[in-house]
């Protein structure tokens, strides 16, 4: 422990004695897969690690977690509501379409998340399968369902599509920004590797609950079969456009990472991720058709205080 203190003191003295600091915000990156960078890691830290400008954003954004399934008859209706809200509120409303399921939950949904000869693509992933059962206690009892920044009505924050618009507008029209976020991604085609860097700033000094950060990898769109309804009769759409597909959580855990004092530099949290950009669900590799949604939430209440979209570039 004392050896670690001496090393840290040496590092602090070294940097404060230099005339120029190439990257004052580069933090220890032992949790990053440096092999995804096609060069010397020291070059990345000194030359490509982003330094964020002052964050002048004053608006709270909305994350709509749309719980859906490709064999769910009424889910296209929910997807339309979500997409319309996103289009009407550019860069303020973001959608994550999570194909929910999991042990004890998929059975309740009669297998509507599973593959089938005419529905061949598996839209589920480990994180989504775990999140579905967890949210049953908060109202996820059928599909389609959704959360709007996980704002609660009593003990419930998972709702059918009908109230999504009013809930979204209520948040957008309220100046209640408690946390601010900035993010940047560096992507390297030769390794398919990406590095996501996030700055989080707590704005409300009266908040005492612990906060956590989650990053969703999203596939923007994919044409694939979807079950729907046609005048209350099941239909089959082979050319349905699936949007905002949740592919996984970058932290490897559905609850993300707690924001701790170890991440603090000058009263701002800095969080870093590395990941290999996967192929699309159709097998093609197209990073430009993917992005990351980063959000910070209250660990005690689960309410989401801010969300941003970070493109892969």
Tens digits of residue pLDDT in 242-296: 999 999 999 888 999 999 999 999 999 999 999 999 999 999 999 999 999 999 9
pLDDT of residue 253: 85
Digit-coded pLDDT (tens) for 135-171: 988 999 888 999 999 999 889 999 999 999 999 999 9
The tally of CA atoms less than 13 A away on the side-chain side of residue 217 is 27
Residue 35 included in any domain: yes
Domain that holds residue 254: 31-311
Residue 88 included in any domain: yes
Give me 16's structure tokens: 């404060």
98-119 b/e (C-beta count within 10 Å ≥ 16 → b): bbbbbeebbebbeebbbeeeeb
CA atoms of 61 and 145, how far apart (whole Å): 20
Residue 10 included in any domain: no
CA atoms of 41 and 228, how far apart (whole Å): 49
How far, in Å, are 120, 142, 185, 269 from residue 72 at the CA level? 14, 10, 34, 40
CA atoms of 301 and 20, how far apart (whole Å): 43
* CATH code of the domain in which 149 resides: 2.60.40.10
pLDDT at 113 over 90: no
Residue 11 included in any domain: no
Name the band, by pLDDT with cuts 50, 70 and 90, for residue 31. Answer: confident
Peptide bond into 234 cis (omega under 30): no
**Strand ranges inside the chain, DSSP E:** 62-68, 93-99, 145-148, 179-188, 193-202, 211-223, 226-230, 233-237, 241-249, 257-258, 264-265, 268-276, 290-298, 304-311
Name the band, by pLDDT with cuts 50, 70 and 90, for residue 101. Answer: low
Residue 105 included in any domain: yes
Domain count, the chain: 1
């Amino acid at each position: 422990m004392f050896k670690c203190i001496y090393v840290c003191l040496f590092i602090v003295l070294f940097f404060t004695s230099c005339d120029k600091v190439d990257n004052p915000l580069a933090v220890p990156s032992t949790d990053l897969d440096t092999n995804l960078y096609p060069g010397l890691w020291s070059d990345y830290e000194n030359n490509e690690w982003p330094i964020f400008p002052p964050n002048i954003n004053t608006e709270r954004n909305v994350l709509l977690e749309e719980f859906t399934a490709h064999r769910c008859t009424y889910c296209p209706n929910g997807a339309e509501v979500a997409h319309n809200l996103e289009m009407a509120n550019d860069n303020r409303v973001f959608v994550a379409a999570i194909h929910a399921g999991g042990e004890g939950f998929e059975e309740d949904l009669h297998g509507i998340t599973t593959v089938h000869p005419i529905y061949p693509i598996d839209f589920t992933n480990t994180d989504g399968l775990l999140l579905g059962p967890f949210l049953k206690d908060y109202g996820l009892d059928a599909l389609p369902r959704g959360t709007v920044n996980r704002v609660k009505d009593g003990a419930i924050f998972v709702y059918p599509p009908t109230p999504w618009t009013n809930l979204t507008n209520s948040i957008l029209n309220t100046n209640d920004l408690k946390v601010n976020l900035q993010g940047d991604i560096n992507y390297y085609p030769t390794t398919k590797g990406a590095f996501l860097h996030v700055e989080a700033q707590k704005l409300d000094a009266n908040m005492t609950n612990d906060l956590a950060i989650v990053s969703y990898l999203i596939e923007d769109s994919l044409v694939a079969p979807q079950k729907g309804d046609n005048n209350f009769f099941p239909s089959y759409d082979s050319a349905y456009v699936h949007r905002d597909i949740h592919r996984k959580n970058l932290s490897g855990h559905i609850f993300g990472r707690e924001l701790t004092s170890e991440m603090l530099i000058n009263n701002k949290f800095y969080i870093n991720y590395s990941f290999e950009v996967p192929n699309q669900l159709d097998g093609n590799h197209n990073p430009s058709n993917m992005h990351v949604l980063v959000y910070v939430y209250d660990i005690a209440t689960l309410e989401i205080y801010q969300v941003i979209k970070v493109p892969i570039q």
